[in-house]
């Protein structure tokens, strides 16, 4: 059963991730008054990359990208997708937080090995940016874990379904807002498209990727979109819950199906908003981005945490 | 009751004194042998002193020469405290005499050996005597021979500091004499036990004034702040073998005399509180002055001031454990400082300079000397498993056993001084071992006659550091003898 | 008496090495390896024993050696790492002068640490502590040059610490009339709170200095970076953990749970110190450009985690703290050894800005460093993960989110500096001057291999070490954790490594298969890369120079080691003051005479007027 769930969630995440990539390009094009590629274009790209010749810079160059993908897929298993969850009982949010490290670290190893200055610059930027939004993310997660008194993500989702979504509760609205503010940074969207700035440093960490490396990187990219938004939906928007309307069929196959659909719809909504932001903002410099994150989202998150602690 | 036979302690003074005066005669007969005279003399003293230990532990030995109690008779009281110091003196004298066999090369050797023997004979006299005027006489013997020895090398610095020492020392002696005179005027006796019996405790100004005179006079030799200005000059310009004895023995004897007078004659307990502070200040000033010294012998001299301060502090706690700590610290200081000066002597001899920076790389060139030096420094800082740790440990324990806030504060100051001490001694060790020297000359170890005494000192430092219990019984009885005025009286007056 | 004979054997062995080294130079290495291995074996065989023996009487104090689970675990770690770093030293020290001295001191340090953890009374604890201090001093000074100020800093801090501990021991002795640990734990409850706090403060200064808790950390970065690398591994891996041992001994064995956590404010202060010790050193580590100094700052930060664990005082946190001690000993030793191997091959280069690309030349060392860094970061499937998980979990669930924040953000900082270390040494471009670098010799590889294996082993099977730790925390008076072979079971969230392992394995295999099925890639050389049309000059482009430049600019403006600056300033002030004091001795005999007469006059004057005496 568990293995089936794993396969299912892997497929869902991969497909949704690809879909997000295509959706982003489509929406961007429409904002630009263009026609844009078909929504399945990224999938075609991946298959095409896979048959192209690529260069490799060594063993770690190969291993790093694989580690990165393993990390991303692992996280998916720890996230409850609607009612579907494979491993959400194996260490909870703390494990997620740690496995989230694997993906950037793998990418960093791979691009470090590539011995390209742009890659080194890109990865350095990526790590610094991650460090700064991680400040906020950790505080947000701590607020939630303190509020719900558990480190298990699944329980957080269930408690929201029973009471009220975190985003709708006045105690947790501030962390929710902070999460929304750093969401573009986590997705690598403008105004935080700093690490992978394609015009400036030739897409940074992935500059040396071609062929199957680029394919894996694209898949990874999609998965990261998926994870970031799925985490938000789970933490703040009650996962697959919709005001308890479908409580009556919970536990059945259809119940799970409906909750999954609700979950995905919520994700798409959030994603579309992020793409809009991406479309209208220019790119910040690293210093500006770090300062922004450490001023506004961080102070909001800290106030949120203080409220939570003060109440409990 | 069976009478226990023992060697008359008078010989402890008489033999070296006699030998000292044989030296000039011997010079005409067999000149080569004179440097062995001090060795023989102090070996004799050492053996005799050690055989006396079991007897003294039972009761004090009283020797009255001439059978009278006239002020000018020689009256010896050999108690555990006196014997302990006389063992230390003869041990140091013996080992330093061996060291001097090779070390003393220049100057008039005959004079050196005579003066050396007189100095230590005077010291033994001071610690064994039972009357206050003889104390003064022996004290003068000690002082005068040390003035001469400080200037022994005859160089400018030596003469200058010898004169300075002479001026201050004579002031001290005259103050001491004035004090003794005032006491004699009041009580008509010079016997310490007799005086002690008449003076229950110091309470009137007529007692305080002679006490202050005597303390100031003895304090100069004991190097208590602010009376110790002669010490850095004198100790650093004397030959190293003499510095070892001056630092390791002479100032401690001065201190012992002072404590004997305070505890036994005046029983001035209220004065102890003042000495407590004086001790800590002496310690602080000594260590702080040593901190930024570049001249090794001056540094060691300042460090001696610091150590004396610590001993004064320990004695001023005025409990049995405090006095034990003080005596133990005396022993450990004698061993440490003698070892350090002896090692330094040959290091200076080899490098031709007293600057610490010139000792670079000596760890390679003189491995054994440097090793002994290191043991000495570790011990003086108070690191286990060396004897300095045991003595500092006892002092801390005694001070904390008082359970007063004052002592905790004073201990904090002592800690600060130990840190400073550590800082400058470890710096020397780094210089010895971890700084490359410029000249690549080969290994040049000290003379074997110098290494043997150093080795014995180092061995004693290590053994007493691991097994301090071996001498604790002796030290305890020395402490209780000094502390317990009444039992001293009873043993002397019967 | 077996413990006593073991210590005697070890001390005699240490001297033997020195003298053997003087007469038969070849034999000393063999002797050192054999003796350290025998010590490890002895200690390992003592597993499960619980007894104490009286071996000496020092000034009326009975000195004891004792062994139980608590000291066994520490003793085993000490002897094990000692053994490995001596093996590593075989090639590291091969061409150095005077290495008999080095081996002797290395054994001295190990024996002294063994003595500390086996001490059954506080006096022997102190004696071994001091022996450790001075032998460490000699070893840190060993490399001369800039090592000398570093070791001065170390020894001065160390003297301050040990003296304050000595006062603490004697103060405790005055209150309880004993220094034997097993007796103290019974008597301590009759002592009033104020005295206990005073003793705790005195001991905490000593242990805090050794454990490099802020504000006592300043000796550590220079000492760790200047010591010979195998000794840095010991220094960082276990020597500073003697502070941890001391804290555990004081808090949980001597004073006991019932009292220590009812001392008002104490734990809060200690926890806040721990949080500060995690955060600031982590960010200072990111700024470093010297590989060993970076690791040294990282050690301070990780010691903060351990300190957090043992002072937070829940069973999870204490178990986590002890486990993290064990893990940190392993991965930090590994990383220091890896840097040591680089240092050995490059003839002493540790500057991160001038290395790079060593993965092609020293792949094994790279693998070791990577595994060590993964353990340091605490990635799942390495040992560091489990111990950190324990600490985080208890911090969150027991209502200390701010402390948890410090710990978690520390982890992200750890990623940054670990990656900087790996990238700047092993990744990027290999400078032309290092074209002929050779692989690490076998005697360096072997310890690294063993340590790497342990990191993975403990990471997958955390149940094994946790069972020992369980016994320790039970002896402290806690409930045991519910440990399974692969993790921890509890009501508020389980940890199950086997799930993670299985999933990783399956996904890994699938992805690798997928990856292999793609078109085969072509290996290219490091200069063949894409520069968006511009030309990259071969020689002039350093990939590693100031890796986190924007962050450096940002942090450098305010993040400095202010405490160290403060200490150095006060040291300079004291030196200045000492120089002033020396002026009392003017050299002019007139003033000396005046001192004497003034002294006498003041005494008489005071007595005449106020009769104070």
Cβ–Cβ under 8 Å, residues C269 and C213 = no
pLDDT given at position C99? 79
Average pLDDT of the segment spanning B165-169 = 91
Would you put residue B52 in left (φ > 0), alpha (ψ -120 to 50) or beta?
Answer: alpha
Of C409, C499, C531, the CB nearest to A90: C499
In order, the DSSP letters of B403-440 are --HHHHHHHHHHHHHHHHHHHHHHHHHHHHHHS--S--
Domain count, chain A: 1
- CB contacts < 8 A, A to C, total 226
Tell me whether residue C603 is in a domain: yes
pLDDT at B327 over 80: yes
pLDDT in tens, C180-202: 888 888 888 888 888 888 899 99
Residues contacting B41, CB < 8 A, separation 6+: B15, B16, B19, B20, B93, B97, B117
Q: What residue numbers bound the domain in which C589 lies? A: 583-613
Judging by DSSP bridges, how do beta strands C522-523 and A55-56 pair with one another?
Answer: parallel
- Across the interface, whether the CB atoms of C131 and B384 are under 8 A apart is answered yes
The larger pLDDT score, comparing residue C83 to residue B492, is at C83
pLDDT given at position C84? 92
pLDDT at C50 over 90: no
Confidence of residue A1 (pLDDT cuts 50, 70, 90): low
pLDDT at B69 over 60: no
Tokens of A229: 């938004």
Average pLDDT of the segment spanning C8-26 = 83
pLDDT given at position B337? 92
Residue with tokens 């006095």: B323
pLDDT given at position C77? 92
Among C149, C600, C607, C612, the residue to mutate for chain B (most B Cβ within 10 A): C600
pLDDT at B314 over 90: yes
Tell me whether residue C588 is in a domain: yes
Burial class (CB in 10 A: 0-12, 13-18, 19+), B491: middle
Average pLDDT of the segment spanning A11-16 = 89
From chain C, the residues in CB contact with A123 under 8 A are: 419, 423
Tell me whether residue C175 is in a domain: no
- Across the interface, whether the CB atoms of C422 and A286 are under 8 A apart is answered no
Tell me whether residue C1 is in a domain: no
Residue with tokens 């004397």: B238
pLDDT in tens, A229-258: 888 888 888 777 777 677 777 677 787 888
Of A53, A98, A113, the CB nearest to C359: A113
Residues contacting C63, CB < 8 A, separation 6+: C54, C55, C56, C57, C120, C121, C123, C124, C127
- Across the interface, whether the CB atoms of B227 and C595 are under 8 A apart is answered yes
Q: Supply the ipTM of this predicted assembly.
A: 0.90
Closest residue in A to C407 (Cα) is A138
pLDDT at C543 over 80: no
The C-alpha angle B214, B217, B223, rounded to 5 degrees, equals 125
Confidence of residue C538 (pLDDT cuts 50, 70, 90): low
pLDDT given at position C437? 82
Tell me whether residue B255 is in a domain: yes
What are the distances in angstroms from CA C205 to CA C65, C159, C277, C434?
24, 11, 15, 45
Confidence of residue C330 (pLDDT cuts 50, 70, 90): very high
Tokens of C496: 């199950």
- Across the interface, whether the CB atoms of B292 and C582 are under 8 A apart is answered yes
In order, the DSSP letters of C387-435 are HHHHHHHHHHHTT-HHHHHHHHHHHHHHHHHHHHHHHHHHSSPPPGGGT
pLDDT given at position B25? 84
pLDDT at C219 over 60: yes
pLDDT given at position C128? 92
Closest residue in C to B468 (Cα) is C59
Tell me whether residue C601 is in a domain: yes
Average pLDDT of the segment spanning C473-479 = 88
- The answer for C 522-581 residues in CB contact with A (under 8 A) is 522-524, 526-532, 536, 541, 543-544, 547-551, 553-554
Secondary structure class of A80 (helix, strand, coil)? coil
Tell me whether residue B202 is in a domain: yes
Sign of the alpha-carbon torsion through C387, C393, C395, C401: positive
Tell me whether residue C592 is in a domain: yes
Distance from CA of B492 to the nearest CA of C (A): 28
Q: What residue numbers bound the domain in which B178 lies? A: 10-493
Q: What is the side-by-side order of every strand in the sheet holding C483-484?
A: C483-484, C487-488, C495-496
- Across the interface, whether the CB atoms of C408 and A146 are under 8 A apart is answered no
Cβ–Cβ contact C361 with A under 8 A: no
Secondary structure class of B63 (helix, strand, coil)? strand
- Across the interface, whether the CB atoms of A309 and C401 are under 8 A apart is answered yes
Write B468-474 long-range contacts (CB < 8 A, 24+): B468/B328, B468/B387, B468/B390, B468/C58, B468/C59, B469/C57, B469/C58, B469/C59, B469/C60, B471/B328, B471/B331, B472/B324, B472/C59, B472/C60, B473/B57, B474/B53, B474/B57, B474/B80, B474/B84
Cβ–Cβ contact C429 with A under 8 A: yes
Q: Please state, rounded to an integer, the average pLDDT across all residues of chain B.
A: 86
Domain count, chain C: 1
From chain C, the residues in CB contact with B175 under 8 A are: 596, 600
pLDDT in tens, B226-263: 888 888 888 888 888 899 998 888 899 999 999 988 88
From chain B, the residues in CB contact with C8 under 8 A are: none
pLDDT at B3 over 80: no
From chain C, the residues in CB contact with B397 under 8 A are: 170, 173
From chain B, the residues in CB contact with C144 under 8 A are: 434-436
pLDDT given at position C165? 92
Tokens of C201: 């403060």
Interface chains of chain B (3 or more CB pairs under 8 Å): C
pLDDT at C106 over 60: yes
Cβ–Cβ under 8 Å, residues B77 and B128 = yes
Tell me whether residue B1 is in a domain: no
Interface chains of chain C (3 or more CB pairs under 8 Å): A, B
What percent of chain C shows pLDDT beyond 70? 96
Domain count, chain B: 1
Among C383, C393, C497, C515, the residue to mutate for chain A (most A Cβ within 10 A): C515
Average pLDDT of the segment spanning A85-108 = 79
pLDDT given at position B256? 92
- Across the interface, whether the CB atoms of C521 and A56 are under 8 A apart is answered yes
Please state, in angstroms and rounded to a whole number, the distance separating the CA atoms of residues A19 and A25: 10
pLDDT given at position B71? 47
Secondary structure class of C290 (helix, strand, coil)? strand
For residue B32, give the DSSP letter: G
Average pLDDT of the segment spanning C567-580 = 89
Confidence of residue B1 (pLDDT cuts 50, 70, 90): very low
Q: Please state, rounded to an integer, the average pLDDT across all residues of chain A.
A: 83
pLDDT in tens, B82-106: 899 999 999 999 999 999 888 877 7
Task: Establish whether chain B is in contact with chain A, requiring a minimum of 3 CB pairs below 8 angstroms.
Answer: no
Average pLDDT of the segment spanning C231-254 = 90
How many distinct helices (H) and strands (E) make up chain B?
A: 21, 2
Burial class (CB in 10 A: 0-12, 13-18, 19+), C276: middle
Confidence of residue C289 (pLDDT cuts 50, 70, 90): confident
pLDDT at A211 over 60: yes
The larger pLDDT score, comparing residue C216 to residue B31, is at C216
Q: What residue numbers bound the domain in which A271 lies? A: 2-311
């Amino acid at each position: 059963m568990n293995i089936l769930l794993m396969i299912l969630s892997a497929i869902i995440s991969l497909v949704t991730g690809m879909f997000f990539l295509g959706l982003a390009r489509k929406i961007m094009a429409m904002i630009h008054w263009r026609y844009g590629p078909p929504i399945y274009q990224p999938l075609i790209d991946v298959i095409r990359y896979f048959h192209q010749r690529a260069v490799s810079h060594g063993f770690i160059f190969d291993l790093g990208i694989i580690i990165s993908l393993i990390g991303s897929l692992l996280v998916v298993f720890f996230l409850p997708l609607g009612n579907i969850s494979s491993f959400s009982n194996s260490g909870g949010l703390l494990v997620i937080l740690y496995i989230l490290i694997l993906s950037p670290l793998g990418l960093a190893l791979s691009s470090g090995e590539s011995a390209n200055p742009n890659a080194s610059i890109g990865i350095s930027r990526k790590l610094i940016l991650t460090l700064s939004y991680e400040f906020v993310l950790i505080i947000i997660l701590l607020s939630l874990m303190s509020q719900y008194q558990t480190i298990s993500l699944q329980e957080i989702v269930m408690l929201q379904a029973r009471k009220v979504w975190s985003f709708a509760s006045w105690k947790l609205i501030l962390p929710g807002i902070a999460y929304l503010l750093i969401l573009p940074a986590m997705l690598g969207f403008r105004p935080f498209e700093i690490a992978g700035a394609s015009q400036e440093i030739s897409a940074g960490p992935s500059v040396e990727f071609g062929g199957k490396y680029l394919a894996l990187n694209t898949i990874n990219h999609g998965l990261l979109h998926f994870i970031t938004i799925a985490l938000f939906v789970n933490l703040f928007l009650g996962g697959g819950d919709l005001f308890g309307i479908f409580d009556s069929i919970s536990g059945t196959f259809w119940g799970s199906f409906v909750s999954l659909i609700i979950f995905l719809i919520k994700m798409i909504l959030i994603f579309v908003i992020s793409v809009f932001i991406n479309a209208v903002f220019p790119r910040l410099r690293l210093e500006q981005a770090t300062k922004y994150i450490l001023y506004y989202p961080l102070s909001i998150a800290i106030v949120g945490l203080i409220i939570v602690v003060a109440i409990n | 009751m069976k009478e226990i036979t023992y060697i008359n302690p008078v010989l402890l003074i008489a033999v070296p004194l006699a030998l000292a005066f044989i030296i000039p005669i011997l010079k005409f007969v067999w000149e080569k042998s004179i440097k062995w005279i001090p060795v023989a003399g102090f070996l004799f003293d050492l053996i005799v002193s050690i055989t006396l230990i079991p007897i003294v532990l039972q009761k004090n030995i009283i020797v009255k020469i001439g059978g009278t109690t006239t002020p000018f008779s020689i009256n010896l009281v050999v108690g555990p405290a006196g014997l302990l110091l006389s063992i230390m003196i003869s041990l140091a004298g013996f080992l330093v005499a061996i060291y001097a066999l090779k070390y003393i090369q220049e100057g008039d050797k005959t004079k050196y050996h005579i003066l050396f023997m007189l100095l230590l004979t005077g010291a033994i006299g001071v610690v064994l005597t039972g009357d206050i005027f003889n104390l003064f006489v022996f004290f003068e013997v000690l002082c005068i021979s040390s003035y001469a020895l400080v200037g022994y090398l005859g160089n400018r610095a030596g003469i200058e500091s010898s004169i300075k020492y002479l001026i201050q020392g004579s002031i001290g002696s005259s103050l001491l004499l004035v004090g003794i005179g005032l006491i004699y005027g009041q009580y008509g006796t010079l016997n310490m036990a007799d005086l002690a019996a008449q003076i229950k405790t110091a309470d009137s100004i007529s007692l305080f004034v002679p006490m202050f005179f005597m303390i100031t006079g003895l304090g100069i030799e004991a190097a208590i702040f602010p009376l110790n200005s002669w010490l850095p000059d004198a100790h650093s310009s004397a030959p190293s073998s003499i510095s070892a004895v001056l630092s390791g023995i002479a100032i401690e004897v001065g201190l012992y005399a002072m404590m004997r007078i305070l505890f036994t004659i005046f029983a001035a307990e209220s004065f102890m509180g003042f000495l407590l502070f004086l001790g800590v200040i002496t310690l602080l000033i000594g260590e702080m002055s040593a901190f930024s010294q570049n001249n090794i012998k001056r540094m060691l001299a300042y460090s001696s001031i610091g150590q004396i301060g610590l001993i004064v502090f320990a004695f001023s706690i005025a409990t049995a454990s405090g006095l034990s700590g003080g005596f133990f610290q005396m022993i450990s200081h004698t061993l440490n400082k003698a070892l350090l000066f002896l090692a330094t002597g040959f290091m200076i001899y080899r490098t031709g300079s007293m600057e610490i920076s010139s000792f670079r790389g000596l760890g390679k060139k003189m491995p054994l000397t440097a090793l002994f030096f290191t043991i000495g420094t570790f011990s003086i800082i108070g690191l286990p498993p060396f004897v300095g740790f045991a003595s500092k440990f006892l002092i801390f324990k005694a001070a904390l056993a008082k359970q007063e806030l004052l002592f905790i504060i004073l201990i904090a100051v002592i800690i600060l001084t130990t840190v400073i001490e550590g800082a400058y001694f470890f710096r020397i060790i780094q210089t010895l071992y971890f700084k490359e020297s410029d000249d690549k000359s080969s290994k040049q170890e000290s003379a074997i006659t110098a290494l043997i005494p150093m080795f014995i000192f180092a061995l004693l430092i290590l053994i007493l550091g691991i097994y301090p219990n071996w001498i604790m019984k002796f030290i305890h009885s020395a402490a209780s003898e000094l502390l317990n005025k009444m039992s001293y009286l009873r043993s002397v007056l019967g | 008496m077996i413990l006593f004979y073991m210590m005697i054997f070890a001390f005699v062995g240490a001297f033997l090495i020195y003298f053997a080294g003087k007469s038969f130079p070849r034999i000393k290495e063999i002797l050192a390896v054999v003796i350290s291995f025998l010590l490890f074996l002895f200690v390992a065989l003592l597993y499960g024993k619980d007894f104490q023996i009286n071996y000496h009487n020092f000034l009326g104090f009975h000195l004891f050696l004792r062994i139980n689970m608590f000291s066994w675990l520490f003793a085993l770690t000490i002897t094990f790492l000692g053994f490995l770093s001596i093996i590593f030293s075989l090639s590291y020290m091969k061409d150095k002068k005077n290495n008999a001295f080095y081996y002797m001191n290395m054994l001295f340090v190990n024996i002294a640490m063994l003595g500390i953890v086996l001490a059954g009374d506080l006096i022997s604890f102190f004696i071994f502590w001091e022996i450790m201090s001075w032998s460490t001093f000699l070893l840190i000074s060993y490399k001369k040059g800039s090592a000398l100020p570093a070791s001065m800093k170390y020894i001065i801090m160390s003297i301050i610490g040990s003296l304050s501990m000595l006062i603490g021991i004697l103060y405790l002795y005055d209150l309880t009339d004993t220094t034997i640990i097993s007796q103290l734990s019974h008597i301590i409850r009759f002592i009033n709170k104020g005295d206990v706090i005073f003793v705790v403060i005195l001991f905490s200064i000593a242990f805090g200095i050794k454990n490099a808790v802020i504000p006592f950390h300043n000796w550590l970065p220079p000492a760790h970076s200047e010591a010979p690398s195998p000794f840095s591994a010991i220094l960082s891996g276990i020597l500073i953990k003697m502070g941890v041992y001391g804290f555990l001994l004081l808090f949980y064995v001597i004073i006991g749970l019932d009292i220590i956590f009812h001392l008002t404010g104490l734990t809060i202060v200690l926890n806040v110190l721990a949080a500060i010790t995690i955060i600031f050193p982590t960010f200072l580590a990111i700024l470093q450009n010297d590989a060993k100094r970076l690791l040294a700052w990282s050690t301070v930060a990780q010691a903060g985690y351990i300190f957090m664990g043992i002072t937070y005082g829940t069973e999870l946190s204490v178990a986590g703290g002890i486990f993290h001690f064990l893990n940190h000993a392993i991965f930090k030793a590994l990383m220091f050894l890896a840097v040591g191997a680089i240092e050995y091959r490059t003839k002493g280069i540790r500057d991160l800005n001038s290395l790079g690309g060593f993965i092609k030349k020293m792949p094994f060392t790279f693998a070791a460093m990577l595994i060590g860094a993964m353990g340091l970061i605490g990635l799942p499937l390495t040992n560091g993960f489990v111990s950190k998980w324990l600490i985080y979990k208890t911090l969150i669930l027991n209502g200390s989110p701010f402390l948890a924040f410090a710990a978690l953000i520390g982890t992200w900082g750890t990623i940054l500096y670990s990656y900087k270390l790996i990238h700047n040494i092993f990744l990027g471009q290999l400078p032309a001057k290092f074209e002929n670098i050779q692989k690490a010799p076998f005697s360096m590889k072997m310890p690294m291999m063993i340590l790497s294996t342990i990191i993975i082993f403990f990471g997958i099977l955390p149940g094994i070490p946790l069972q020992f730790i369980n016994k320790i925390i039970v002896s402290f008076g806690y409930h045991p954790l519910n440990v399974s072979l692969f993790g921890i079971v509890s009501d508020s969230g389980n940890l199950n490594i086997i799930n993670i392992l299985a999933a990783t394995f399956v996904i890994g295999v699938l992805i690798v298969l997928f990856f292999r099925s793609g078109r085969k890639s072509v290996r290219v050389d490091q200069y063949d890369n894409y520069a968006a049309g511009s030309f990259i000059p071969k020689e002039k482009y350093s990939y590693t120079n100031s890796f986190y430049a924007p962050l450096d600019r940002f942090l450098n403006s305010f993040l400095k080691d202010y405490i160290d600056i403060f200490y150095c300033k006060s040291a300079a002030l004291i030196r200045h003051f000492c120089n002033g004091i020396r002026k009392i001795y003017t050299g002019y005999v007139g003033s000396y005479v005046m001192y004497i007469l003034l002294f006498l006059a003041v005494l008489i004057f005071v007595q005449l007027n106020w009769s104070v005496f």
